[in-house]
Amino acid sequence: MTHVQHLKPFLRKTPFHAPMEALMHGNGWIRWMGYYSPAFFDSVSGEYFATRTGCTLYDVSPLIKYSIRGADAAKFMNFLVTRDITKVKPMQAAYTAWCDDDGKMIEEGTIFRLGENDFILNAALHQLHWLHESAYGFDVTIEEISERLCGLALQGPTSRDLLKVMGVGGIETLPHFGIMETTLDGHWMRIDRAGFTGDLGYELWVKPESAHWLWDTLMRLGDPYKIAPIGSQALDMVRIEAGFILVDADYIGAMHAIRPTQRESPIEAGIGWAVGLKKDAYFVGKRALQQEKAKVTSRHILMGIEVEGRKPANGAFLYADKAAKQEIGLTTSGMWSPILKKSIAFARVPPAYAKPGTEIWTEIWYPKEKKIERLMARCTVTSRMFFDPPRKKA
């Protein structure tokens, strides 16, 4: 393909690109939704441990952000997503799923309620078409505002102390999933206490022109707090420990599924708790989800498993028995957890097996001295929240 080289690069750079590039060893860039995004800076395990012991920065700017405002914004959001939005107060964030007509998950993401009728929705896939389609009849304005905000996830046990030193007043009292806005050195900043690591942590959103100030300030003040930038590989490890599902890894978004059977309901994807079947208003897919719940038609439920031994079990078949006679499912994400010293994985198991403590088996193939060895490992079904320190919510 001789002519490809002539095509100009089209990937965009986030406002944090230059300071990140300065710290990068080798080329750790990957593509994320049309942006350069770091997969790693130096050592993945170093970045992982930094997140669990100090605090780390991850550039979340490529997340797609939609602003939803207007007289019916609250009503519309309540119709769009599975969570009960009436229970989310202004300046609170909430994690939620949204579904198609059949109650199959299009994606999950975070909603930020900034005012009575002022919301921001963060998504990893493009949703504008769906939002517009769903908004018919509602008095709302939906805008894609990705380029207007850029953000860093500051996560880890020392993250709060760092923000305190930085001079963010009131950070001690910001509750889990709370949102606050502040101005420091003339820079507007929105802080929410959420993240993808399952630990104490915050997301810091600023205008693009404040990006370098934010990065430099955090890195300058953060040294005593063991601050480090991380890439998506380390993030993937901590999010598995925290039990967070990831689109395209643990489920396929309904709009991207080629076969309808590839779609999954939020109940099947293991976030049934985020489905407000009891909420007062109708939401897209509610009738289908009510049916699924009432008739127990979930094909599987995404649970956690702890795998005996040390081999990671991602993409492995699951069996009811050691003899591997009855296949019951498949693992999605899986890893050896360096903190927990356990092999952990997300497992799609039939509802009957989705009770913590259930014993199942997995078939792991692993390389050993130029051969591929087969191992049947005993697994225990658990909650997906493998790592859940009290400080997360404290």
Partner 1 sequence: MYDTAIIGAGHNGLVTATYLAKAGQKVIVVEASDRIGGAAVTREFAPGFKVSGVAHILHALHPRVVADLGLRLDRTPIGTSVLLPEGKSIDITADAAATAASIGKVSPADAEAWPRVTARLNKIATALGSFLSRTPPSPAISANDFQTKLALGMFALQLRMLGKKDMLELTRILTMNVADLANDHFESDAIKGLLSLDATLGVYLGPRSPNTVFNLLYRLSSYGKHGMGGLFLPKGGMGAVAKALEDAARRAGVEIRTSAPVDHILLEKEIATGLVLKGGEEIRASNIASSADPQTTLLKLVQPGNLDTEFMKRIRHLRMNGCVAKVHLALDGLPDAWKSRNGRLVVAPKTDYVERAFDCAKYGRVADKPALEIVIPSLTDASLAPPGKHVASILFQYAPYKLRETPPDEARRQVLERTIDTLDVLAPGLRTRVIGSEALTPQDLERDYGLAGGQWHQGEVTLDQMFFLRPAGQYQQYRMPIPGLWLCGAGAHPGGNVSGAAGMNAAREILKATKARKVAA
Partner 2 sequence: MAESYDVIVIGGGHNGLVTAAYLAKGGEKDGKNKLKVLVLERYKKVGGAAMSEEIYPGFTYSTCSYVCSLLRPEIFRFLDLPRHGLQVIPYEINSSPNPDGEGIVTYKDHDRTRESLRRHSIKDAEAYDHYAAEISRQCRFIKPLLMMTPPDPTQLNPFAQNRINPWGKREDLDGLLKIAAEFGRMGEKEMYEIIRFWTMSIGDFLDEYFENPRWKGFSAASSIIGTALGPYSPGTAYVLLHHYMGEVDGQIGAWGFARGGMGSVSKAIASAAEEAGAEIRVNAEVAKVIVKGGRAVGVALSSGEEIYAKAVVSNLDPKRTYLKLIEKSDLDAIDPDIHGYAKNFKIRGSSGKLNIALDGLPQFAGCPKESAWGTIDIGGDFDYIEHAFDDYKYGSWSKRPFLDIVIPTTVDPTMAPPGKHFMSVFVQYVPYKLAESEWTPQMKAAFEKDVLDTIEMNAPGFRNLILHCQTRTPWDIENEVGLTEGNIFQGELTLDQLLFNRPFPGLGQYRGPFDGFYMCGSGTHPGGGVMGAPGANAAREMLKDFKHGVVK
Q: What residues line the site for partner 2 (CB under 8 A)?
A: 1-4, 6-8, 10, 12, 31, 33-34, 101-102, 125-130, 132, 144, 255-261
Contacted by 284, from partner 2, partner 1, none: CB < 5 to 8 Å by type: partner 1
**Based on CB atoms, which residue is closest to partner 1, 60 or 254?**
254
**Based on CB atoms, which residue is closest to partner 1, 81 or 235?**
81
| 10 near partner 1, rule: CB under 8 A | no
Per CB under 8 A, the list member of 40, 41, 79, 346 interacting with partner 1 is: 79
Contacted by 257, from partner 2, partner 1, none: CB < 5 to 8 Å by type: partner 2
Cβ atoms of 62 and 11 within 8 Å: the answer is no
In whole angstroms, how close is the CB of 144 to partner 1 at the nearest point? 18
| 71 near partner 1, rule: CB under 8 A | no
In whole angstroms, how close is the CB of 250 to partner 1 at the nearest point? 24
**Based on CB atoms, which residue is closest to partner 1, 10 or 136?**
136
Contacted by 34, from partner 2, partner 1, none: CB < 5 to 8 Å by type: partner 2
Contacted by 10, from partner 1, partner 2, none: CB < 5 to 8 Å by type: partner 2
Q: Annotate each residue in 94-123 with x if it binds partner 1 (CB under 8 A) or - if it does not, as one string.
A: ------xx----------------------
Strands 105-115 and 118-123: antiparallel
**Based on CB atoms, which residue is closest to partner 2, 128 or 385?**
128
| 359 near partner 1, rule: CB under 8 A | no
Per CB under 8 A, the list member of 16, 35, 36, 76 interacting with partner 1 is: 76
In whole angstroms, how close is the CB of 263 to partner 1 at the nearest point? 12
H, E, C per residue of the chain: CCCHHHCCCCCECCCCHHHHHHHCCCCCEEEECCEEEECCCCCHHHHHHHHHHCEEEEECCCCEEEEEECCCHHHHHHHHECCCHHHCCCCEEEEEEEECCCCCEEEEEEEEEEECCEEEEEECCCCHHHHHHHCCCCCCEEEECHHHCEEEEEECCCHHHHHHHHCCCCHHHCCCCEEEEEEECCEEEEEECCCCCCCCEEEEEECHHHHHHHHHHHHHHHHHHCEEECCHHHHHHHHHHHCCCCECCCECCCCCCCCHHHCCCCCCCCCHHHCCCCCCCCCCCHHHHHHHHHHCCCCCEEEEEEECCCCCCCCCEEECCCCCCCEEEEEEEEEEECCCCEEEEEEEECHHHCCCCCEEEEEEEEEECCEEEEEEEEEEEECCCCCCCHHHCC
d(CA 318, CA 302): 12
**Based on CB atoms, which residue is closest to partner 1, 126 or 226?**
126
| 138 near partner 1, rule: CB under 8 A | yes
Contacted by 33, from partner 2, partner 1, none: CB < 5 to 8 Å by type: partner 2
Per CB under 8 A, the list member of 14, 51, 122, 134 interacting with partner 1 is: 134
Could you say which residues in the range 252-291 bind partner 1, by CB under 8 A?
A: 281-282, 284-287
160: alpha, beta or left? (left if phi > 0; alpha if psi -120 to 50): alpha
In whole angstroms, how close is the CB of 248 to partner 2 at the nearest point? 12
Backbone angles phi, psi at 77, to 5 degrees: -60, -40
Contacted by 79, from partner 2, partner 1, none: CB < 5 to 8 Å by type: partner 1
Per CB under 8 A, the list member of 26, 137, 260, 367 interacting with partner 1 is: 137
Contacted by 285, from partner 1, partner 2, none: CB < 5 to 8 Å by type: partner 1
Residue whose tokens read 């799609």: 348
Cβ atoms of 281 and 83 within 8 Å: the answer is no
Residues 6+ apart with CB under 8 A from 21: none
In whole angstroms, how close is the CB of 257 to partner 2 at the nearest point? 8
Binding positions for partner 1, rule: CB under 8 A: 72, 75-76, 78-79, 100-101, 130, 133-134, 136-138, 281-282, 284-287
